[in-house]
Structure formats: structure tokens, C-alpha cells
């Protein structure tokens, strides 16, 4: 017991738990991050296949969240799961991915030509019904 503090309970008495109000900063369930399946498509001028593959492998190494990448000499597709509060946040991250890592991974100077962001439930529903993006297997970097 701290000096000068009064005893709050007797010996052997269990401590009672009290509840504390969550306060203004408490996150509601809908504000918690969710998983979003992202497919990012890029294209541009032809580049040597070996360089495209090496750049995508470097991107996957730098960011292990990437599930799979498919590529050709003038376009590529990257698929991965993103954890974000909502679709807007997941899309914003996806739209920055290629440009922000162009230099560090040596990615070709291609532009984003397509973006699909769907929630986990929709992804699994599409797979179960036999349409939508194929499951991201095999994992890794592969030619189209």
C-alpha cells in the first residue's frame, strides 16, 4: 500500500472490476479496418520481359502482401489484399502503389489503366458462384 493511502479492501477480499466509458475516440465496428481484394492493371510502352519480371519480383519482395502478379512486355496486373477502413482508403493506397515504388523497384513508367477493389465477402461470393477474379493462385510473379 502507498504511504498515506487508506486500505480499500480487507485481506482476502477480491478486487471489484468497474467499467469505464469508452469516450469520444472509441471506434465503432464499422470504423475498424476490413480486408479488400485489389486488382491493379497497368500498361505502357514495351519493356524487356526480364526487366518487368525482375521489377515485379522486387516489388513483391519489398511488399510481401502482394499475392500474385502477371505481366507481359507492355502491361501487368497486380493482385493483393489491402486492410483499410473503407473502399476509398483501399483504392487510394492502390492508386499510389505503382508510382510510389516505380524507382525503388525499377518498375516500368506505365500508367494505371484499371482498378478493382471489392470487399472480402464479395470476393468469396464471386468465387463460390464461379465468376469474378480467379483465386490468386499460384502466388508469385508469372507471365500472362
What integer pLDDT is reported at residue 136 of this predicted model? 52
Does residue 4 lie within any of the structural domains? no
Domain encompassing residue 99? 31-143
What integer pLDDT is reported at residue 67 of this predicted model? 79
What integer pLDDT is reported at residue 16 of this predicted model? 56
Does residue 25 lie within any of the structural domains? no
Does residue 107 lie within any of the structural domains? yes
How far apart are alpha carbons 53 and 61 in whole angstroms?
A: 12
How does pLDDT run along the chain (144 residues), one tens digit per residue? 555 555 555 666 665 555 555 555 445 556 789 999 999 999 999 999 999 999 999 999 988 777 789 999 999 999 999 999 999 999 999 999 999 999 999 999 999 999 999 999 999 999 899 886 666 556 788 888
Does residue 50 lie within any of the structural domains? yes
Does residue 11 lie within any of the structural domains? no
CATH code assigned at 79: 3.30.70
What integer pLDDT is reported at residue 11 of this predicted model? 61
Domain count, the chain: 1
97-103, Cβ contacts within 8 angstroms, sequence gap of 24 or more: 97/40, 98/40, 98/42, 101/59, 101/62, 101/63
Does residue 3 lie within any of the structural domains? no
Q: What is the secondary structure of 42-105 as a DSSP string?
A: EE-S---HHHHHHHHHHHHHH-TTEEEEEE-SSEEEEEEEEEESSHHHHHHHHHHHHHHHHHHH
Amino acid at each position: 500500500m502507498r504511504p498515506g493511502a487508506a486500505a480499500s479492501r480487507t485481506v482476502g477480499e477480491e478486487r471489484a472490476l468497474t467499467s469505464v466509458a469508452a469516450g469520444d475516440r472509441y471506434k465503432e465496428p464499422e470504423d475498424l479496418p476490413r480486408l479488400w481484394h485489389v486488382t491493379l492493371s497497368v500498361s505502357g510502352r514495351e519493356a524487356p520481359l526480364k526487366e518487368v519480371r525482375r521489377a515485379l519480383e522486387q516489388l513483391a519482395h519489398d511488399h510481401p502482401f502482394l499475392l500474385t502478379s502477371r505481366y507481359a512486355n507492355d502491361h501487368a496486373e497486380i493482385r493483393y489484399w489491402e486492410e483499410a477502413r473503407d473502399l476509398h482508403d483501399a483504392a487510394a493506397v492502390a492508386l499510389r502503389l505503382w508510382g510510389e515504388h516505380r524507382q525503388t523497384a525499377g518498375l516500368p513508367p506505365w500508367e494505371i489503366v484499371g482498378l478493382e477493389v471489392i470487399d472480402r465477402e464479395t470476393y468469396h461470393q464471386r468465387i463460390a458462384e464461379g465468376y469474378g477474379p480467379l483465386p490468386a493462385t499460384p502466388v508469385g510473379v508469372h507471365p500472362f
